[in-house]
A and B are shown apart, each in its own frame.
Chain A
């Protein structure tokens, strides 16, 4: 595999790096909000993977117009899918933050180790 080929997979390298950054943040951080930020980064990586894979070389936006039926289009389906996934991600984040607020009300802290000590 030569350099060009490696560069050709550029988007997947970005995906892998962002994914790892997110996962690391989730695992390593003790602060609950930082954990949620990590989770969001983690999910964003997957959004990137989906969105970049639908690109077809020379393709245009998948809108059929009169007289231009023979155009090459990018694949619209992954975009649709990831729109749903983004909605799911946002809901998860919102719920996660709501839980963090409740935790703060109940324990007076959002540091995981202090919460564990409290019980």
Chain B
């Protein structure tokens, strides 16, 4: 049987159906194996679809055989394929590596529940990326959010609880804003299908409700995506979550929200609303720039390694939004490529930190002094991913930063300001990564006797991701092809 036409549906169904099955697997080794198998299978599906759509193609799937716009349509293009690769890749890599870390942080009895929530989060995030239906996106968004709240609150750190409560409140407000926007668009067009909306908005006579809808949707999704200054939920949630959950969510959760933001704005509003591109840029570009500078500056003086990197995530989200706010093909390519590369870098960094956390209970920087001597491999992987985060040539991060600066140079009068800000923030990134390097390598160790290396399973995956950072820095063709196909597709929907 040829499964190819069913891949978009399988992408969601596999993790979603595995979630209750994993619950039944009481021995925790089996539960882990089940969750890993489902995550890896999802990754295989995503990779398969990415290979199909990389040339600009598109996969359609009508749920239950009902044709769009009446039925629920799933659709996978280059952009969604890229996001799916990030989501499933992060889930699979983190899941394979997870066991030693999870065993330390989650009681044995609750582990099947934990893995089940993990798969639900994966199903939700993948569902967002494959849906072509505005309301369906909302449902999947909430599935993934609810599951992530559970995951973040699942660890032994009690500080995670207030953090996750804040995340829950802000996340729900964001999702509800999105729902209001969708309702208003539906009221004026009578459809929920994104492509159909685009076609019908042209005929709407009273455009004001659509403008209001655009505002609600953009702000709601910006909340979910942690765009500065709506990012306040993110640092604590990432810092106190179980380490493996941080790996998974930091690599992909906010990027999926950015994906919806960009897709909705470009598919539905951009082509139909006069001056929308200007409003979109005027709203997002200053926020992106402020986010880049402020978050980087905060990260420079942060003492907890996980919170430092969480703040850096806020800055990196700024880069992605900045690229999108140019509304040019070059800018969107840079934004999409940066999603991929940042997921690689940040995922690798948090994996390495999960390794450190196996021996260091306290992850404040001053406690980690001299860790490179006892854990040389973990520290080296951390440095490689850190270089990628800075954008050192030869690593993946360099490619997207180069593209971003190249795109910024086309911005006429603003070009110099933009380039200057990107360069300054890169220097700041250098400063905070160098702080970590200096602490790990050049400071005398606090604890004696020194602990050993991270568990092999975790270490191997960490190195795999670190090497992927180098590989995609030297051979970026595949993600770049996806990114530029995505950008071309999006630009076709502009005025």
In the complex, A touching B, CB below 8 Å? yes
Residue contact B179 to A42, C-beta cutoff 8 Å: no
Most buried by A among B146, B183, B192: B183
Residue contact B183 to A100, C-beta cutoff 8 Å: no
The B interface, classified by DSSP as helix, strand, loop or mixed, is helix
Which of B135, B159, B172 is in CB contact (< 8 Å) with A39? B172
- Within the assembled complex, what's the spacing in Å between the Cα atoms of A11 and B146? 30
Which of A50, A107, A119 is in CB contact (< 8 Å) with B183? A50
- Chain A residues, Cβ within 8 Å of B183: 46, 49-50, 53, 78
- Within the assembled complex, what's the spacing in Å between the Cα atoms of A39 and B172? 8
Given contacts A26-B173, A92-B142, A116-B162, contact A85 B168 (CB under 8 A): no
Task: For the A-B complex with A39-B173, A107-B161 known, give 4 more contacts whose Cβ atoms are closer than 8 Å.
Answer: A50-B183, A88-B138, A95-B168, A119-B159
Q: How far is the CB of A72 from chain B (nearest CB, A)?
A: 16
Residue contact A43 to B176, C-beta cutoff 8 Å: yes
Residue contact A99 to B173, C-beta cutoff 8 Å: no
Interface size class of B (residues with CB under 8 A): 20 to 34
Given contacts A85-B138, A106-B161, contact A95 B176 (CB under 8 A): no
Given contacts A26-B169, A43-B172, A119-B159, contact A95 B146 (CB under 8 A): yes
Contacts of A64-119 to chain B: CB distance below 8 A: 78, 81, 84-85, 88, 91-92, 95-96, 99-100, 102-103, 106-107, 112, 115-116, 119
Residue of B nearest to A32 (CB): B165
- Chain A residues, Cβ within 8 Å of B164: 99
A21 on the B face (CB < 8 A): no
B187 on the A face (CB < 8 A): yes
Residue contact B165 to A85, C-beta cutoff 8 Å: no
Which of A23, A39, A95, A103 is in CB contact (< 8 Å) with B162? A103
The A interface, classified by DSSP as helix, strand, loop or mixed, is helix
Q: How far is the CB of A36 from chain B (nearest CB, A)?
A: 8
- Give me the interface of A with B, judged by CB distance under 8 Å: 19, 23, 26, 32, 35, 39, 42-43, 46, 49-50, 53, 78, 81, 84-85, 88, 91-92, 95-96, 99-100, 102-103, 106-107, 112, 115-116, 119
- Chain B residues, Cβ within 8 Å of A100: 165
Residue contact B139 to A92, C-beta cutoff 8 Å: no
Which of A42, A91, A106, A119 is in CB contact (< 8 Å) with B146? A91
Q: How far is the CB of A42 from chain B (nearest CB, A)?
A: 6
Q: How far is the CB of B218 from chain A (nearest CB, A)?
A: 17
Given contacts A88-B142, A95-B149, A99-B153, contact A35 B169 (CB under 8 A): yes
Which of B146, B153, B192 is in CB contact (< 8 Å) with A92? B146
Residue contact A99 to B187, C-beta cutoff 8 Å: no
B180 on the A face (CB < 8 A): yes
B150 on the A face (CB < 8 A): yes
Can you report 23 residue pairs joining A to B where beta carbons are below 8 Å apart? Answer: A23-B173, A39-B169, A39-B173, A42-B173, A42-B176, A43-B172, A46-B183, A49-B183, A53-B187, A78-B183, A78-B186, A81-B192, A88-B139, A91-B146, A92-B146, A92-B172, A99-B161, A99-B165, A102-B153, A102-B161, A106-B158, A107-B161, A112-B162
- Chain B residues, Cβ within 8 Å of A85: 138, 179
